[in-house]
Amino acid sequence: MSAVELVCAVCPASCTMRVVVRGGVVEVTGNRCPRGVEYARQEIEAPTRYVISVVRVVGGDVPTVSVKTRRPVPKDCIWLVMEKLKDAVLTAPVNIGDVVLRDVCGTEVVATRRVARVAT
C-alpha cells in the first residue's frame, strides 16, 4: 500500500486529496467532485503535462516566440520535447497555431503568439 497527497488542479476549489493504492486499486478521498477522482487516477497511473517553451525566430519583430504542445504529453517525454525544441529556429512571420514540431511524443508543438516579419 502506498499513499500520496495531491492538490487537485481541475477546478478552483483545489481540493487536497489522499490517494491510496491497494492491490492495484486507486482509492481517493478528500475530493469534492468526481473530476477529482479522475485527476488523481491519472496522476498516479499516467501523469501528463503540457510543455511550454520559446523558440528562436529569425527576421521577426521579437527574437523568440512562445510555443506549447497541442496536447499534454507523458511526464517522461518532457525532456525529449525540450531537447527537440532547443535546436528549432523559425523564420518570421509566425502565426498562432503554426506547427513548430510534428509528431513529438504523440502530439505537435505549436506557436502561441504572432511574430511579424521586420523589413531588413
Model pLDDT for residues 8-39, shown as the tens digit of each residue = 999 999 999 999 998 888 999 999 999 999 99
Q: Are residues 28 and 77 in the same domain?
A: no
Q: Are residues 36 and 71 in the same domain?
A: no
When the pLDDT of each residue in the chain is averaged and rounded to a whole number, the result is 95
The pLDDT of residue 1 is 64
Whether 94 is covered by a domain: the verdict is yes
pTM of the predicted model over 0.85: no
Mean pLDDT of 51-72: 98
Q: Are residues 64 and 103 in the same domain?
A: yes
Whether 117 is covered by a domain: the verdict is no
Whether 119 is covered by a domain: the verdict is no
The pLDDT of residue 8 is 94
Q: What's the residue count for the chain? A: 120
| C-beta separation of 13 from 39 below 8 A | no
Q: What's the burial of 3, exposed, middle or buried (CB within 10 Å: 0-12/13-18/19+)? A: exposed
Q: Which residue, 25, 45, 65, sits at the end of a domain?
A: 45
**Nearest in space to 81 (alpha carbons), one of 48, 44, 45:** 48
The pLDDT of residue 119 is 83
CA 70 vs CA 58, 75, 101: distances in Å: 23, 15, 10
What's the domain range around 20? 2-45
| C-beta separation of 99 from 109 below 8 A | yes
